[in-house]
């Protein structure tokens, strides 16, 4: 009996020592979080901690610490829920993607078209756990899908009303999955997705400047107002690839042949052509509405402090004289001085 008692005591002491040793080791660890890496085991796209979870990935603990979250944090985060995005992507170097020049002041600056709080917050555009977001080349950006402008879907898919090819990022790179769609003009899949995402809040897609658009337009305070208007077309004419759906377009009164590019020369949509200033689409105090300005095709991009400045127009409408690598007009869209 005495031996049994002694064995029990020794076992209890060993168990206590192991437990205390483990607690001491755990208490000395720097954090209950893991450092994000796009390498193994997270090297399968999408390369983001916010989407693409599997049993072997290590993504959840990038944001949530199961046992060692700080006392001031919420939902096991490093900060409050409201500050969780800015904590990683604005005010610290934890994330490799820092926006608003690392300044919360720029995130909260009141600007009618700056994409910042309170009218537009991070979760206005991004789904933190990747639910219902664009796939394909834009998957890692966790951009929300809630209603792509119908006329844009018709244009990009050659007359189809099915937006799934756009949402899933299935275009000319893999035509077997979408009945052979080839994005019109010079678009590639990421360009199509960018324009599709932007026109959800800014429904300014039109294939002709004479077309009347009626849509719910996002206001600077986050509300929407239904209005009708005409807008700058995002289109390259001429029936590229034999697609009759957008063949023969030219602006009303234009003398430019329909087999030459009109409207947006590179047809790269919202970002590539007009809105590509530093920081886009996150607030940049140096430019107005993210407009990039060029005196002509040869000049470098410049800042546009007033979106009504002609600098936003001259890059396309006074194109210059050098030959273009993509077939199109020399001398812009017929506008001269």
Q: What is the pLDDT of residues 273-289, one digit of tens each?
A: 677 777 788 887 777 88
Give SS3 for 149.
Answer: coil
Residue 251 has pLDDT above 60, yes or no: no
To 5 degrees, how large is the angle CA 132–CA 138–CA 140? Answer: 75
Average pLDDT over residues 50-65: 95
Give Cα 209 distance to the centre of its chain: 26
Point out the least confidently predicted range of 12-21, 136-145, 224-233, 243-252.
Answer: 243-252
* pLDDT bucket at 243, cuts 50 / 70 / 90: very low
Point out the least confidently predicted range of 30-34, 127-131, 184-188.
Answer: 184-188
- The H-or-E segment that residue 5 falls in is helix 2-27
Give Cα 26 distance to the centre of its chain: 39
Residue 20 phi, psi dihedral angles, 5° rounding: -65, -40
Are 142 and 126 in contact by the 8 Å Cβ rule? The answer is yes
Residue 315 has pLDDT above 60, yes or no: yes
Of 265, 124, 286, nearest to 201 (Cα)? 124
DSSP code for 272? I
Point out the least confidently predicted range of 154-158, 178-182, 273-277, 311-315.
Answer: 178-182
Burial of 199 (0-12, 13-18, 19+ CB in 10 A): buried
Whole-number pLDDT of residue 329: 42
Are 261 and 267 in contact by the 8 Å Cβ rule? The answer is yes
Are 283 and 106 in contact by the 8 Å Cβ rule? The answer is yes
Are 282 and 100 in contact by the 8 Å Cβ rule? The answer is yes
pLDDT tens, position by position, 73-105: 999 999 999 899 999 999 888 888 888 888 888
């Amino acid at each position: 009996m005495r031996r049994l008692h002694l064995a029990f005591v020794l076992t209890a002491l060993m168990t206590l020592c192991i437990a205390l040793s483990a607690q001491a080791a755990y208490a000395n660890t720097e954090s209950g979080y893991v450092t994000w890496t796009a390498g193994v085991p997270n090297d399968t796209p999408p390369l983001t901690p916010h989407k693409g979870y599997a049993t072997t990935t290590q993504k959840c603990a990038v944001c949530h610490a199961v046992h060692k979250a700080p006392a001031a944090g919420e939902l096991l985060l490093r900060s409050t829920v409201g500050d969780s995005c800015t904590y990683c992507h604005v005010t610290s170097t934890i994330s490799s993607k820092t926006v608003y020049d690392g300044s919360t002041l720029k995130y909260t600056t009141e600007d009618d078209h700056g994409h910042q709080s309170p009218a537009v917050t991070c979760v206005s555009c991004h789904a933190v756990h990747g639910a219902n977001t664009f796939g394909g080349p834009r998957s890692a950006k966790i951009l929300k899908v809630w209603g792509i402008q119908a006329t844009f879907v018709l244009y990009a898919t050659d007359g189809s009303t099915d937006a799934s090819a756009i949402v899933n990022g299935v275009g000319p790179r893999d035509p077997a999955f979408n009945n052979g769609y080839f994005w019109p003009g010079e678009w590639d899949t990421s360009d199509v997705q960018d324009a599709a995402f932007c026109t959800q809040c800014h429904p300014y897609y039109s294939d002709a400047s004479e077309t009347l658009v009626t849509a719910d337009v996002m206001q600077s305070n986050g509300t929407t107002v239904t209005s009708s208007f005409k807008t700058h077309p995002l289109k390259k004419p001429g029936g590229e690839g034999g697609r009759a759906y957008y063949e023969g377009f030219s602006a009303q009164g234009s003398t430019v042949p329909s087999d030459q590019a009109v409207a947006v020369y590179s047809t790269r949509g919202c970002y590539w052509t007009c809105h590509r200033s530093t920081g886009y689409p996150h607030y940049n105090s140096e430019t107005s509405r993210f407009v990039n300005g060029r005196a002509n095709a040869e000049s470098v991009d410049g800042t546009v402090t007033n979106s009504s400045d002609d600098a936003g127009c001259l890059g396309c409408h006074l194109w210059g004289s050098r030959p273009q690598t993509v077939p199109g007009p020399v001398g812009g869209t017929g506008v001269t001085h």
